[in-house]
Structures are given as C-alpha cells and as structure tokens.
C-alpha cells in the first residue's frame, strides 16, 4: 500500500557482477531495444576492469542506430555507490573462478561421481554454495542498507540458495530469481506440436504451463495450447522417442547452444513419474539417484553431455577476446534480443503491462506441500510493484520425495554455510542423491579436499 510510482524514463539499475559477459550484454541489448524505459545502469564488479569494459560496450550499444531507448552506463566503485538510489538490482556474479569450479566438477569423479554441470546440487553444487552464500550475505546486507525498496533480480547459481540467502539476510527484500531452463521445455512442446501434429509457428508464450518445483528441477503439471491439453500428446511423443531421443527439438536459446541433449532423461522421468520435467537433461540428471550419470558411457547412452570445466575456461577466453574486440571496435555490436524475460519482468514491476512468468521466490503457500520459506519456482503474476505467486497446487506425490529431499538439503546447506559448520556440512553433502553410493570415509575425505580447494573464497572460520 506504500507503493510509489517510478519515473520510467529515469530508472536506475545497479548491475552487480557481469564479468561473465554473456548475461550482461544480452541484458543491455534487451534494454536498448525497448522503447518504453530509459535510465542509467551502474556497473559494479569486484573486477573493476571488467565493469569498465562492459561500460564501453554498453555505451556502444546505446550508440547503435537501432537502439530504441536511452541508457547511460556508469562504473561504480563500491556496492554502496552502485546501490544507493537504485530502482532495480541485477545480480549475475561468477562465484570464484573456473579453478574452483574445476574442483567442484572434476574432483568427485575419482569416487565415480560424474556431474554434467556441477553448479546446483551434488558435490559441486554444494561446494559452490559454500563460497557463494557468504557473497550473497554481503550483497543482501548492502541492499538492506542502501536499496531496501529496490527490486532485485538474481541470475547467479545455485539459484535457489542465492535467493534464499538474500531473504535470510533481509526478509523484507524484494528479490526474485530468473532462469530460462523452463523455456527450453516449453519450446520442446512447440517442436512436438510441429513434428507430431504439423502445427507450425507456435511460440512458447502461446502455451500455458503450470510450473512447480525448484530451480533446475522444475516440473510442468499442466501444459495447454489453445484449449488443448498437451499431456496426452506428450505421452505419445515420449513413447515414440524414449529410446532414440529427440534431437531436433533441442533448446535453441543461445545460452544453451553447446549444451544440447536428446531429452532422453526428461522422457524417462515422464515415464516413471507421469509429470513433465522442465529443465535441461544435464541439470535434471543431477537431482536424482545416479541412474543417468553412473559413468561417462551411461551419460552418452542417455544422450547428453558432461561439460568439462576446461571447455568453460576456453569459452571464457573467447568471450574475453570478444570483449576486447568489441571494446576496441574490431568487432561490431549486433543488436538482437536475448530471449530472456528479465527486462519484461522489470517493466511489469513498473506497471507497464502485467505478465505471468515462472520465477524463484520463497514459498508463501503457492506449493502447499513444500516448506514455507523455501525458495521454489512457480508461475507468478507480475504487476506494478507486485509479484503475486499463482497457486501451483501440491507437488504430485510421485515426485514429492525427490523435490523435498533437495529442499531440505538446501536449507541445511544454507545453515552450514552461514555457521561454517563442518559437521552439518558433511552430513548434508553425503545426503545428496549423487553421493548415496559413497562410503562416509571416502565422502569425508572428498569433502575436506574440496573445501580446501576453495579456501581463498571461504570465511576463515571454516579452518579454525
């Protein structure tokens, strides 16, 4: 009721992080292409140089002839400077470096734990959380102190825990997490309509899907298009492609271009549980018992891939080169939309058009059989200064144990990180389904080593 109306032509956006480039550039282009909102983007990164480069690129985007709005770019010297007076805060940081991620992803392989991504759950996701949560404590406290009324969009993984940490630190925060993984499955349904029914041109926005679960382990409990329930069709589709996989329907979002899968994991989960899993197979496989990731051969059989961190390192080099080239003018800016919805949600929050989208926020009852307060992913209705979750109903009983397990683990992961509690950390680490075959002794050794490998990013209390 104490809503204030903002001037949509003079907005202030604080962009925290962005060193990973891709997200920042896409977001800046999305802003540039939208004629309804203008303002200033303040770039803050612990790597100040990266922020400077992004500023230059941002200004080039602003100067592009196809640009539809006016955005200024400034580099901030501190969180306080970036946040004070901000209307929106975007968080997209890389916690640590790919060296730490190398430990997250590859060290567990010695115990037969193969992780396709390693940034959400499992051994890798747990360790990433240990170093990320303290960073989000810092960010959350800064928002509480300098921008308590701002809307905060998070893109960083582990998504659920990042958002959860912000609410732990500052319960009144207006934060939410955005992730495009659900979009990929919506596009798969569009592809299905095309290949199975010859219906062309359906866009994911034309569907209605009831989204439920937690980030990267999200599920659709209903999916309809123009008055048609898509579940019966999907059931036939799954039976047809369960063994061979379905290749054409891959996610064409640029972010996932190297990350294709043949949907076999998704199809197998549907056969078992009767609900549509709605994330890339690489993510989904990490949330269940190691059925799909027992070893690299099994992964190949299920037709998805293990992303080596060496690839990420190489990819980063290329993106840094791209950054250089854009800054130096060697390469031209191309102005195209990212396919992300962040700027649309931002506009909805400004009152420029209500919209329904999936979002990661604390459970207020939108999923009545998951714990209140846990960060869940469901649809919400976005409007002026409002994100009202849409009731998703109870998680279907068949998948409830799978999701609840991670929700409870994540809560303990948060506590372990906040308290630097090695005992709770270890039992939580061992309780992940991917580690269920590991002996306690092996698990403890791995835990200690992985923790040691990221010592530089952890509170000293861990090692006292």
Question: For residue 128, which of 160, 107, 157, 91 has the smallest C-alpha distance?
Answer: 157
d(C-alpha 80, C-alpha 89), whole Å: 12
Q: Which residues of 405-419 are buried (b: 16+ CB within 10 A; e: fewer)?
A: bbbebbbbbbebbee
Name which of 1 and 460 has its Cβ closer to a second copy: 1
Name which of 194 and 228 has its Cβ closer to a second copy: 228
The reply to whether 171 sits near a second copy by the rule CB under 8 A is no
| 180 belongs to the catalytic site | yes
* Beta-bridge partners for 152: 89, 175
Kindly tell me which residue out of 199, 320, 352, 418 binds a second copy, with binding defined by CB under 8 A: 352
Kindly tell me which residue out of 65, 318, 401, 460 binds a second copy, with binding defined by CB under 8 A: 401
The reply to whether 289 sits near a second copy by the rule CB under 8 A is yes
The reply to whether 10 sits near a second copy by the rule CB under 8 A is no
Catalytic hit among 106, 180, 283, 406: 180
Select the span of 146-154, 271-279, 318-326, 331-339 touching a second copy (CB under 8 A): 271-279
Q: Which of residues 17-46 bind a second copy (CB under 8 A)?
A: none
Q: Are 112 and 295 in contact (CB under 8 A)?
A: yes
Shortest spacing between CB 317 and a second copy, in angstroms: 39
Q: Are 214 and 160 in contact (CB under 8 A)?
A: yes
d(C-alpha 458, C-alpha 340), whole Å: 32
Binding mask 379-398 for a second copy (x = CB under 8 A): x-x-xxxx-xxxxxx--xxx
Q: Which of residues 223-252 bind a second copy (CB under 8 A)?
A: 224-229, 231
The reply to whether 1 sits near a second copy by the rule CB under 8 A is yes
Shortest spacing between CB 183 and a second copy, in angstroms: 18
Q: Which of residues 430-459 bind a second copy (CB under 8 A)?
A: 430-431, 433, 436-437, 439-440
DSSP string, 107-132: GGGGGT---SS-SSSHHHHHHHHHHH
Shortest spacing between CB 278 and a second copy, in angstroms: 14
The reply to whether 199 sits near a second copy by the rule CB under 8 A is no
Shortest spacing between CB 399 and a second copy, in angstroms: 9
Question: For residue 342, which of 5, 28, 8 has the smallest C-alpha distance?
Answer: 28
Kindly tell me which residue out of 54, 191, 358, 366 binds a second copy, with binding defined by CB under 8 A: 366
d(C-alpha 192, C-alpha 231), whole Å: 11
Select the span of 98-106, 316-324, 360-368, 456-464 touching a second copy (CB under 8 A): 360-368
Kindly tell me which residue out of 20, 84, 253, 415 binds a second copy, with binding defined by CB under 8 A: 415
Chain centroid to CA 233:
29
Kindly tell me which residue out of 409, 429, 450, 458 binds a second copy, with binding defined by CB under 8 A: 409
Shortest spacing between CB 400 and a second copy, in angstroms: 6
The reply to whether 364 sits near a second copy by the rule CB under 8 A is yes
Kindly tell me which residue out of 195, 273, 305, 457 binds a second copy, with binding defined by CB under 8 A: 273
d(C-alpha 58, C-alpha 153), whole Å: 19
Name which of 177 and 250 has its Cβ closer to a second copy: 177
The reply to whether 411 sits near a second copy by the rule CB under 8 A is yes
**Beta strands 151-154 and 88-92, pairing class:** parallel
| 3-state SS record for 62-111 | HHCCCCCCCEEEEECCCHHHHHCCCCEEEEECCCCCHHHHHHHHHHHHHH
Question: For residue 218, which of 178, 247, 165 has the smallest C-alpha distance?
Answer: 178
Q: Which of residues 119-148 bind a second copy (CB under 8 A)?
A: none
Name which of 330 and 364 has its Cβ closer to a second copy: 364
d(C-alpha 338, C-alpha 58), whole Å: 15
What's the token pair of residue 43? 């770039």
Name which of 220 and 279 has its Cβ closer to a second copy: 220
Select the span of 162-170, 194-202, 237-245, 359-367 touching a second copy (CB under 8 A): 359-367
Q: Which of residues 327-346 bind a second copy (CB under 8 A)?
A: none
| Helices (H), ranges, 264-354 | 264-273, 281-287, 296-301, 309-328, 342-349
Q: Are 165 and 136 in contact (CB under 8 A)?
A: yes
Question: For residue 109, which of 130, 123, 95, 125 has the smallest C-alpha distance?
Answer: 123
The reply to whether 427 sits near a second copy by the rule CB under 8 A is yes
d(C-alpha 357, C-alpha 415), whole Å: 30
The reply to whether 210 sits near a second copy by the rule CB under 8 A is yes
Catalytic residue annotation: 180
């Amino acid at each position: 009721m104490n809503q204030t109306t903002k001037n949509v032509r003079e907005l202030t956006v604080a962009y925290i992080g962005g060193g990973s480039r891709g997200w920042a550039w896409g977001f800046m282009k999305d802003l540039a292409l939208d004629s309804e909102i203008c303002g200033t983007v303040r770039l803050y990164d612990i790597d100040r140089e990266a922020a400077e480069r992004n500023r230059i690129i941002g200004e080039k985007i602003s100067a592009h002839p196809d640009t539809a709005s006016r955005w200024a770019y400034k580099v901030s010297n501190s969180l306080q400077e970036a946040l004070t007076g901000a209307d929106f805060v975007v968080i997209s940081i890389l916690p640590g470096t790919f060296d730490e991620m190398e430990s997250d992803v590859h060290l567990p392989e010695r115990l037969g734990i193969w992780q396709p991504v390693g940034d959400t759950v499992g051994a890798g996701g747990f360790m990433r959380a240990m170093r990320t949560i303290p960073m989000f404590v810092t960010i959350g406290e800064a928002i509480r102190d300098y921008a308590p009324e701002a809307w905060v969009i998070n893109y960083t993984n582990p998504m659920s825990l990042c958002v959860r940490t912000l609410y732990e630190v500052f319960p009144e925060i207006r934060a939410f997490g955005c992730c495009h993984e659900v979009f990929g499955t919506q596009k798969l349904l569009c592809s299905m309509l095309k290949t199975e029914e010859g219906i062309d041109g359906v866009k994911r926005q034309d569907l209605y899907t009831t989204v439920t679960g937690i980030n990267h382990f999200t599920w659709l409990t209903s999916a309809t298009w123009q008055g048609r329930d898509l579940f019966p069709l999907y059931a036939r589709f799954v039976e047809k492609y369960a063994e061979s996989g379905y290749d054409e329907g891959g996610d064409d979002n640029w972010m996932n271009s190297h990350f294709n899968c043949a949907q076999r994991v998704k199809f197998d989960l549907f056969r078992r549980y009767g609900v549509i899993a709605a994330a890339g197979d690489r993510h989904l496989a990490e949330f269940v018992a190691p059925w799909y990731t027992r070893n690299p051969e099994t992964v190949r059989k299920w037709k998805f891939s293990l992303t080596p961190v060496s690839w990420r390192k190489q990819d980063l080099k290329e993106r840094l080169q791209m950054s250089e080239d854009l800054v130096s003018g060697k390469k031209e800016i191309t102005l195209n939309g990212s396919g992300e919805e962040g700027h649309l949600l931002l506009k909805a929050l400004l009152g420029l058009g209500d919209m329904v989208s999936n979002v990661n926020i604390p459970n207020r009852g939108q999923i009545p059989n998951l714990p209140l307060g846990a960060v869940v992913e469901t649809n919400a209705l976005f409007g002026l200064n409002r994100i009202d979750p849409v009731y998703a109903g109870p998680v279907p009983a068949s998948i409830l144990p799978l999701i609840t397990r991670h929700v409870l683990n994540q809560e303990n992961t948060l506590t372990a990180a906040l308290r630097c509690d090695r005992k709770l950390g270890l039992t939580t680490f061992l309780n992940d389904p991917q580690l269920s075959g590991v002996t306690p002794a092996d698990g403890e050794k791995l835990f200690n080593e992985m923790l040691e490998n990221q010592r530089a990013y952890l509170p000293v209390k861990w090692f006292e």
